[in-house]
Chain A
Amino acid sequence: MSLWSLLFDPDNSIWVYRINAGSCNGCEIETTPLFTPRYDAERFGIKWVGTPRHADVVLVTGPVTAVAKESVMEVLSQVPDPHVVIAIGSCAVSGGVFRGSYALEGPLDNLYPVDLYVLGCPPKPEGILTALLEAKKILKAKRKGQHQEKPLVVDPAGMVMGR
């Protein structure tokens, strides 16, 4: 990292909030290792926060179920701008194995604009980490007032597609 970005780049600080919108918990289990010594996401300035009002990035896991929809929308409305929404796992991207169920209101992009998709059931921590690092660039663009037209897709092992 250059001295400039070490001292003045606000995009090197990303606070992440997680929403479980009816996930099977598999995706949560894969996000937790990000802060273990093996992946150590904190070295990129990434930090978990416990409240949407502190968040820059929101990770949503699970297909949005009818019960969860209201809370998910409420929480997303509390996140201050600029922010990035990432859909984690096949469920959040497309409904996954639950697609077509009577209990679903999702997937998420029917309800709220999504900036990044991470594929996989569940995705690997590498994929999630790549998505968070991509979110840095999207945040930078959003701070300047630009908006990307097409969302990016990260495959389970951390390759970025759709550039």
Chain B
Amino acid sequence: MNIYITYILLGVLLPLIALLYDGIERKMTARIQGRVGPPITQSWLDFIKLLTKKVKLPEDTNMLMLFTGLVLMFAGAFIPLIMVFMRKGDLILLMYLMVGGTLGILLTGLAFRSPYSRVGVSREMQMAFAYEISFIFAIVITIMVTGCRTLESCNVSSIPLVKWPLLLIPFILFLFVAPAKVGVVPVDIGEAESEIAEGPFVEIGGRYLAIAKLSKSMKMLALMQLITLLYLLPADVTGIWYWIYSFVIDGVLVFFTISVVRNAASRIKIDQAVKFYATVPLTIGIIGLVIVYLMRGWGM
């Protein structure tokens, strides 16, 4: 009984916290740029505002596609968020769910005939091909190094000290993939706000857009917590300290992988981004996989 109450509580609170992290990220961006910035509840206010707006969609919208896309997008962010915070579930399942979230964005964009959303979908798809493979490499290397697949035990503290440097490879891969997966400025080519007006989301408004924005912030928090959980969590942090430690480290990760990256670079072109993701992270991933495979062969 108790466990159900915990899940319901988390299901309500974690999306709110995710929106709060989005607001913190906007605040940090503003501070880096020398501005005062919005209050940290701004994303939460945007969410409420979008719920109160009336929905106006184009007449020829493919509603089935739109709903499928939104459900996939929401599920691909919400379920991983609960999984990583509760430390329950399978790492491979998590990987599939998060790739499913990307698929949801594509379906949402394909529900409209606007050229902006079509361009956004095509760019999003090219980006997905480029970075998802590195994401998969990172998870596979982690599984091979730690030798387990569940989120409870698959952790940096569950392996001997000598193997820790090996986990540096997936950690670096995650740092490369995080901005692209969350969709922030240097690599948010599919959603480029100032060029193609948020790409796949160009025609949706009101509560549908609210779900899309919520999914985006939940995906960010889930990814940060996944990195914390796999690579940065010591074994003796449990109970209430687990939550405090997680939230603090998530904030630090958001600062370094999202805010700093976003302010240090301007948006690059799709061919540059694909070329980058198909060379640097992929090479690191392949070399890492070979090293880990050889080490296993030597019985380490």
By a beta-carbon cutoff of 8 Å, the part of chain A in contact with chain B is 1, 6-13, 15, 37, 40, 42-45, 47, 49-51, 53-54, 56, 78-82, 143
Contact = CB atoms under 8 A, between A and B. Distances in A.
A82 B53 contact: yes
Contacts of A51: 116, 197-198, 202-203
Nearest to A83: B53
A82 B54 CA distance: 7
Interface stretch (B33-41, B95-103, B227-235, B254-262): B33-41
A63 B261 CA distance: 41
Given A45-B45, A82-B53, 8 more contacts: A1-B39, A13-B45, A50-B193, A50-B196, A51-B116, A54-B209, A56-B53, A80-B56
Given A12-B45, A13-B46, A80-B56, A42 B35 contact: yes
Contacts of A12: 39, 42, 45, 49
Contacts of A15: 46
Contacts, number: 89
Contact of B204 (A1, A37, A53): A53
B65 interface: no
A146 B214 CA distance: 30
B89 interface: no
A37 B34 contact: yes
A47 B51 CA distance: 17
Interface in B172-227: 193-194, 196-198, 202-206, 209
Contact of B202 (A6, A37, A53): A53
Given A7-B41, A40-B37, A42-B35, A13 B49 contact: yes
A12 B54 CA distance: 17
Contacts of A54: 198, 205, 209
16 contacts: A1-B39, A6-B45, A7-B41, A10-B48, A11-B49, A12-B49, A42-B35, A42-B38, A44-B38, A49-B193, A51-B116, A51-B197, A54-B205, A80-B54, A82-B53, A143-B52
B49 A42 contact: no
A42 B49 CA distance: 16
A146 B28 CA distance: 38
Contacts of A9: 45
Interface residues of B, number: 34
B159 interface: no
A56 B30 CA distance: 22
Contacts of B206: 80
Given A50-B193, A50-B198, A80-B56, A10 B45 contact: yes
A78 B206 CA distance: 12
B55 interface: yes
B277 interface: no
Across the A-B interface, give the 6 residue pairs with the lowest CB-CB distance, nearest first. Answer: A50-B197, A10-B49, A13-B49, A80-B56, A51-B197, A53-B205
Contacts of A56: 49, 53
Contact of A43 (B35, B116, B194): B35
Contacts of B56: 53, 78-81
Nearest to B194: A50
B44 interface: yes
Nearest to A38: B35
B281 to A, nearest CB: 29
B194 A53 contact: no
Nearest to A43: B36
Nearest to B29: A42
Nearest to A12: B45
A6 B26 CA distance: 15
A112 to B, nearest CB: 16
Given A53-B56, A53-B203, A43 B48 contact: no
A11 B48 CA distance: 9
Contacts of A11: 49
Contact of A37 (B35, B116, B194, B209): B35
